[in-house]
Amino acid sequence: MLLAQAAAGGIPVSHAIVLGITQGLSEFLPISSSGHLILVPWLFGWEELTGPENADLNKTFDVALHVGTILASLLYFRKDLLRFATAALTSIKNRSVTTTDQRMAWLLFLSAIPGAIVGASLEDFINEHLGQIWLIAVMLIVFGLVLLVADRLPGDKKEGDYGFRQALGMGLAQAAALSPGVSRSGITITAGRFLGFDRNAAARLSFLMSMPITGGAALYKGAELAVDGLPPGTAPAFFWGIVASAITGLAAVWLVLTVVRTRSFLPFVVYRVAAGVAVLALLASPLR
């Protein structure tokens, strides 16, 4: 019964589940979660999540969906995160960085700084100008092809080779993903491959890097939400959206790491290019 009900004046639960699945898959697959969260409502004509009059609700719901993927990350990488958190606390206590885990913990934090600065300073510009459907389609194609080039490069560096230069380079790339269609995981994996990491290391570093930046953004937006409260009638939609996002996000992490260990990123490149071309074709057709 609950799944059939629509949130009065807000988001139908069925739409929330579809978008939760979309967020969970596209956050970790290198295909752009922010782009897909705009494209899916546009394709289906879900008016409650399109148009400037619904911008605040859309952004609030987007934060909720990211909570789901953060939970998926915490679950999958729980052992790594516990190790890094312990190392960081020890580093603070001793006022020194002496171990590999301590160095990695601070480098992951460093990698989030460029994205945080760009996101905070250009938030209005990003929201107002970078979410256009045609631009998302172009970004899907362009950065899909860039990923293809990077994927064919030789690379033998492992996670232990992640240093200041690599953290800064992949962090700057992560900042570019604030433009919908670029893909945070896609651009950081691409940067990792250009920096000489093998596929598995590039993917794992990309996922580990996601937690400081997405966690920080969720806390920032969540603080605003705590003050304003949920829009009336949207609690069921938010709950089921988070659940769907967490479950599919966990599956997506496993899928990416399984695929890249045995094959390549080519399936994701093909999808990005095909999706971008299809959206541009739809825009040019009389159907829209």
**Interval 227-276: pLDDT, tens:** 666 666 677 888 898 899 999 999 998 988 888 777 888 999 999 999 99
CB atoms closer than 10 angstroms to residue 64: 25
* Six token digits for residue 184: 């945070």
- Nearest alpha-carbon partner for 238 in 55, 65, 59: 65
Mean pLDDT of 272-287: 93
- Nearest alpha-carbon partner for 30 in 281, 217, 256, 241: 256
Q: Is 131 helix (H, G, I), strand (E, B) or coil?
A: coil
Mean pLDDT of 190-196: 95
Q: Is 12 helix (H, G, I), strand (E, B) or coil?
A: strand
User: By the 8 A CB rule, do 31 and 268 touch?
Assistant: yes
Please check the confidence at residue 38 and state whether its pLDDT lies above 70.
Answer: yes
Mean pLDDT of 27-39: 90
pLDDT of 110 reads 92
Mean pLDDT of 41-63: 68
**DSSP codes joined into one string, 195-238:** TTB-HHHHHHHHHHHHHHHHHHHHHHHHHHHHHH-PPTT-HHHH
Q: Which residue has the higher pLDDT, 260 or 197?
A: 197
Mean pLDDT of 156-175: 93
Please check the confidence at residue 70 and state whether its pLDDT lies above 90.
Answer: no
Q: Is 241 helix (H, G, I), strand (E, B) or coil?
A: helix
Q: Which amino acid is at 201?
A: A
pLDDT of 49 reads 59
pLDDT of 60 reads 67
CA–CA dist 223, 155 (Å, integer): 41
Please check the confidence at residue 207 and state whether its pLDDT lies above 70.
Answer: yes
Mean pLDDT of 34-41: 90
Least confident range from 20-34, 40-54, 77-91: namely 40-54
CA–CA dist 278, 49 (Å, integer): 21
Q: Where are the alpha helices (DSSP H) in 152-198?
A: 164-176, 184-194
Identify the H or E element spanning 138: helix 133-151
Over the stretch 105-121, which tens digit does the pLDDT of each residue have? 999 999 999 988 988 88
Compute the Cα dihedral for 256, 257, 260, 262 and give only its sign.
negative
Question: Terminal CA-to-CA distance of the chain, rounded, Å?
Answer: 33
Kindly indicate the confidence band of residue 6, based on its pLDDT and cuts at 50, 70 and 90: very low
* Six token digits for residue 91: 């580093």
Please state the domain extents for the chain.
Answer: 10-284
Kindly indicate the confidence band of residue 129, based on its pLDDT and cuts at 50, 70 and 90: confident
